Structure 1
């Protein structure tokens, strides 16, 4: 009997809780959370975490591989082109964490606008008399500028609107001058000149690297709040630190960093900064949905079906006859 065909090996690349994936993999498959070299050689599928580097060297160690399933959508650490060249599908899970990340972005916005660190310290440190000096902002009547208007960006807009915020958005793949899902689509220049709150939800590409720099921050309204739940490389941290120091920014929220984990930066110590270790997409429900979607993607590819979402749409389901001959 052909073991590879009857008992496919699926490995974890990064930390994966077996309980979240085993029930959604092909029946009889063997899931290995801490794979050895032998497991990598035998693996036909892999569930890939955000911090795992999948380069040519690793692909060379996995000659039987047919599918990589990334828990999330960022594939900057996966050599997608090389995987596609080898016939390996790179599955992504774009919808699973949408609501969780959007809620995380809005939580950071509320924390910073309402200055919850300062209010907490006022009470905890017995400085009640200082409350008169606290300046709390308002979401009602403010404009939120969403940079990147895909699934997460649109959900942020949906959450912001009931607070009475005006929603403007910019996306390099969408036009301007129209309204989409309640948001006015504008140029990046217009967004940064109007937005009291800016939230970032773009993928990291050579074009978006350090999109938010000194020039960007020079154009925002004084006292703006900036939140990045997209990719760390979208923001120049040195520029953000200067903007906080001179009042162009009144608050900064970061869930993502470049690199991860980050080297300590002086901006981390600023009282008007809130940080989280790239976990906004990892709520209980989102984590379960993400791993379920990744495992289902592995199952689909191994069963000869096209998965729901691919990093490279050019990948196609291999011919089953040829595939079966190769496995014999």
Structure 2
């Protein structure tokens, strides 16, 4: 109880959350619990949820007063959004916070693979200077990048690629209409993209329609020696197909920041010298992490204060009658 006799609002972390990044953006007087007990879960009206936390019916049953879930990111594969909406719980997402960081990460992987930085490092570190003449380094200038998924991150990748002198192709099943260009990219069919692109980056959400979108057929259509980077969702790519494409030279390099499941079990493709890996951290730069948690905490504060949050996983969510009271009225 607060000094005014009103109940303090409890907001819990589901997953690893640094309190310093969220407390200052929650409603005044709210109590943030980093490691919630069962009693804290029962009392919680808000939750800041990391990507590795599962919010299913069983957990929702343990949180009867919950009014808002704020996901630090945009993926909600582990959140039962439909059930949350049915119960009147808002599921807030934080698009945009990690856009630049993920796009930079994708381009970092592209550069690493095209410039063969693992091979050049080994050449020097292992005392094989004389072997440098056998290294074949590629160029971004004049190459074509195909961006699959042309939302915020895809468009940022396109702008960065254009600055390197690349031709930018994009395919997005959610973009329709007669527009031939968007933000400097040529909008093309998936078939045209994979027949022309020397570099392909993936930035789609994972749905039943996009599961294993990149399979044997997709990879067989790429120009020989293409580079593929996945910073979208692990399930977009069939790893067995990628391993075969690396073995037969169809792929010259593969970059993975995402996996299915996470953490992944070891796959033979991980040992290939032309593969670069990161543990789903490209969106977790210092600046992006701060922005993501700030956006999540503000989303919690909006709902608890009776304001509609900026971004919702289910745009059709509306305030239940019992949830429209502001903090001061509680």
TM-score range, shorter chain: over 0.9
**SS at structure 1 position matched to 2:228:** strand
Cα separation, 2, equivalents of 1:25 and 1:88: 17
Query: Could you tell me which residue of structure 2 aligns to residue 232 of structure 1?
Result: 234
User: CA offset at residue 318 of structure 1?
Assistant: 3.0
Cα separation, 1, equivalents of 2:109 and 2:324: 51
Query: Could you tell me which residue of structure 1 aligns to residue 54 of structure 2?
Result: 53
**SS at structure 2 position matched to 1:216:** helix
Matched, 1:319 2:298: no
User: CA offset at residue 322 of structure 1?
Assistant: 7.0
Structure 1 residues 128-139: aligned runs within 5 Å? 128-139=129-140
TM-score (norm 1): 0.97
**SS at structure 2 position matched to 1:279:** coil
Unpaired stretches in structure 2, ≥5 consecutive residues = none
**SS at structure 2 position matched to 1:298:** helix
Contact 2:230–2:257 under 8 Å retained in 1: yes
TM-score (norm 2): 0.96
Q: CA RMSD in A?
A: 1.6
Q: Give aligned pairs, total.
A: 326
User: CA offset at residue 209 of structure 1?
Assistant: 0.3
User: CA offset at residue 5 of structure 1?
Assistant: 5.7
Cα separation, 1, equivalents of 2:5 and 2:309: 21
Cα separation, 1, equivalents of 2:170 and 2:7: 49
Cα separation, 2, equivalents of 1:150 and 1:263: 30
Unpaired stretches in structure 1, ≥5 consecutive residues = none
Contact 1:6–1:28 under 8 Å retained in 2: no
Contact 2:306–2:324 under 8 Å retained in 1: no
The CA deviation string for residues 37-82 of structure 1, in whole angstroms up to 9 with x for no partner, is: 0000000000000000000000000000000000000001100000
Cα separation, 1, equivalents of 2:281 and 2:323: 43
Structure 1 residues 246-261: aligned runs within 5 Å? 246-261=248-263
Cα separation, 1, equivalents of 2:293 and 2:43: 22
Structure 1 residues 273-292: aligned runs within 5 Å? 273-292=275-294
Contact 1:177–1:186 under 8 Å retained in 2: no
Query: Could you tell me which residue of structure 1 aligns to residue 112 of structure 2?
Result: 111
The partner residue of 2:196 within 194, 198, 220 is 194
Structure 1 residues 136-285: aligned runs within 5 Å? 136-175=137-176, 178-285=180-287
User: CA offset at residue 321 of structure 1?
Assistant: 8.0
Cα separation, 2, equivalents of 1:98 and 1:162: 17
Contact 2:21–2:294 under 8 Å retained in 1: yes
Cα separation, 2, equivalents of 1:239 and 1:136: 25
Cα distance change of structure 1 residues 244 and 177 upon mapping to structure 2, 3 Å threshold: farther
Cα separation, 1, equivalents of 2:5 and 2:283: 34
**SS at structure 2 position matched to 1:169:** strand
**SS at structure 2 position matched to 1:135:** coil
User: CA offset at residue 320 of structure 1?
Assistant: 5.9
Query: Could you tell me which residue of structure 2 aligns to residue 85 of structure 1?
Result: 86
